[in-house]
Every structure is written in C-alpha cells, then in structure tokens.
C-alpha cells in the first residue's frame, strides 16, 4: 500500500510551523530520497511516518505494521556482539527463540557481514557498524524502511560501497525505502524519485524522477545535481535571511 500523506502540517511549541501542508504518495516498493537543507523538516517527516510524532493538521496512511527506522548513528549496544544486536531486534519483534539464530545469520549475510557475527561494535569499522544497524532494521520485518542520513558520517569510499550494497539489497527485498539526505549526488545515485523540500517550513518544492539511463549518464547526472544544488542554495539563503530578521 505504500505511504500517503495528505496536507500534513507539523508545528512545535516555540518553533512554529516545521512542515506545511505536505502531500505525497509513495508507492509500495519505491525508493524515495527526501532532499533538503538543514532545518527543512526532513527528520520530522520521518518521525511522522514512523508514528513518533502526530501531525498538527492533515493525515497520513502507512502500512499497519508501521515502519523500521535507521538513524545516522548506528546506536548499537556496545556490550553485545553484532549478532546479538540483531537478535535483540528479532526478539522484540516476537520471533521465536529457536528460529532467531538462523535469521540473524541470514540478515548478516544479506549485508555481507556473516563473518562478523561474534564481533563487538568497537571491533567494527564505521561502515560495518552501519551494516549491522541496517540488518537490525531489516529484522523488524516491515515493508517500509526509513533512513535518516545513515551514511553522512562515513568517508567517501565507504559511503560509495554502501550505496551499491543498499541498492542491491533494495532490489532483493522490494522494500519501500524513504531515504533522507542533504547530499544531492547521493539522492541521484540511490533513488528512483527525489522530493525536494523548502527550508523551514518544509514544503515540496520539486519532484524529480531518476531513471537508470540518467543515472548512468555522467553529463545528465551532473546537470541535475547542479540544478538541485542551485535550488537548495537559494532556499538556504532565504532561510538565513528570515532568521536574520
């Protein structure tokens, strides 16, 4: 069924309007990137979809089982191994004890970490910790996966590798992915559609469909990246002028 938002607005006490009359339909199995400058309400939008916040106005419709969430920080429990971190998510999701280990092994293999099942978080690189966090999110067995700038803190080489792995995983699982980022090239590389938000309050300014032909064409990808960057810079300057006043 995907995710549908209809005229959704969100206000915070003392901050005012954060998201303003946002409407969007995200189809089942779609990979969406939400792109915007800092303070445009991207993370708040994910919190609304996850059910962590309620809209001030409007309504949204998500699958009955809700959505899994992956954050920028892996937030792994440091005293548990990679496998036990994933197993805990399975336990909380209600998986029987006698089936959990096989599922842990399957999920870690899916993110190419089958060899690290017994390693503690401090023994893993940043990219490996994010893979464990992804496996933990997948352990919730939900169709919708929300990702809040999960690769922002990683170096460029590791980020590129995880981009490839995430695209492959999406193709294998058919998940509906809503991926928040402020990185234009990341949005183009990963998604099938980009929603560009305005700066505070967040409204949908632009929607761009990303075809495989465009993704494989360096000139077209660069031209779109330049266009979107110009839009975001304009919005950021507008927001800074508003704050100054």
Q: Give, in words, the CATH class of 24-54+143-245.
A: alpha beta
pLDDT at 93: 86
pLDDT surpasses 70 at 104: yes
CA atoms of 200 and 213, how far apart (whole Å)? 33
Handedness of CA 154, 189, 169, 24 (dihedral sign): positive
Higher pLDDT, 243 or 219: 219
pLDDT surpasses 80 at 118: yes
237 pLDDT band (50/70/90 cuts)?
confident
pLDDT at 147: 95
pLDDT digits 0-9 by tens, 126-168:
999 999 999 999 998 899 999 999 988 888 888 888 899 899 9
The model carries a pTM of 0.91
Structure tokens of 139? 């352990």
- Helical H runs in the chain? 42-50, 82-92, 97-110, 126-138, 156-173, 184-190, 212-216, 218-244
CATH 3.40.50.300 intervals, the chain: 24-54+143-245
pLDDT surpasses 90 at 117: yes
Q: How many CB atoms lie within 10 A of CB 191?
A: 25
CB distance 108 to 117 below 8 Å: yes
Strands laid side by side in the 144-148 sheet: 67-70, 144-148, 176-181, 31-35, 193-197, 204-209
């Amino acid at each position: 069924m995907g995710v549908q938002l209809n005229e959704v607005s969100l206000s915070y006490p003392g901050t005012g309007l954060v998201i303003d009359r946002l409407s969007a339909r995200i189809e089942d199995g779609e990979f969406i990137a939400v792109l915007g400058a800092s303070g445009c309400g991207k993370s708040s939008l994910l919190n609304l979809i996850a059910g962590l916040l309620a809209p001030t106005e409007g309504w949204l419709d998500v699958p009955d089982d809700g959505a899994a969430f992956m954050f920028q920080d892996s937030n792994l429990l440091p005293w548990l191994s990679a496998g036990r971190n994933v197993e805990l998510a399975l336990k909380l999701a209600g998986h029987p004890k006698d089936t959990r280990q096989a599922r842990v092994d399957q999920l870690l293999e899916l993110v190419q970490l089958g060899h690290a099942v017994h390693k503690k978080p401090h023994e893993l690189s940043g990219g490996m910790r994010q893979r464990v966090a992804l496996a933990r999110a997948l352990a919730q067995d939900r169709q919708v996966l929300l990702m809040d700038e999960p690769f922002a803190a990683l170096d460029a080489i590791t980020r590129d590798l995880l981009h490839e792995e995430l695209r492959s995983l999406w193709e294998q699982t058919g998940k509906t992915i809503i991926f928040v980022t402020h990185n234009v090239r990341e949005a183009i590389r990963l998604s099938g559609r980009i929603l560009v938000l305005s700066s505070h309050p967040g409204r949908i300014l632009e929607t761009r469909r990303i075809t495989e032909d465009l993704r494989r064409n360096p000139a077209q990808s660069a031209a779109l990246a330049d266009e979107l960057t110009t839009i975001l810079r304009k919005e950021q300057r507008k927001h800074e002028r508003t704050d100054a006043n």
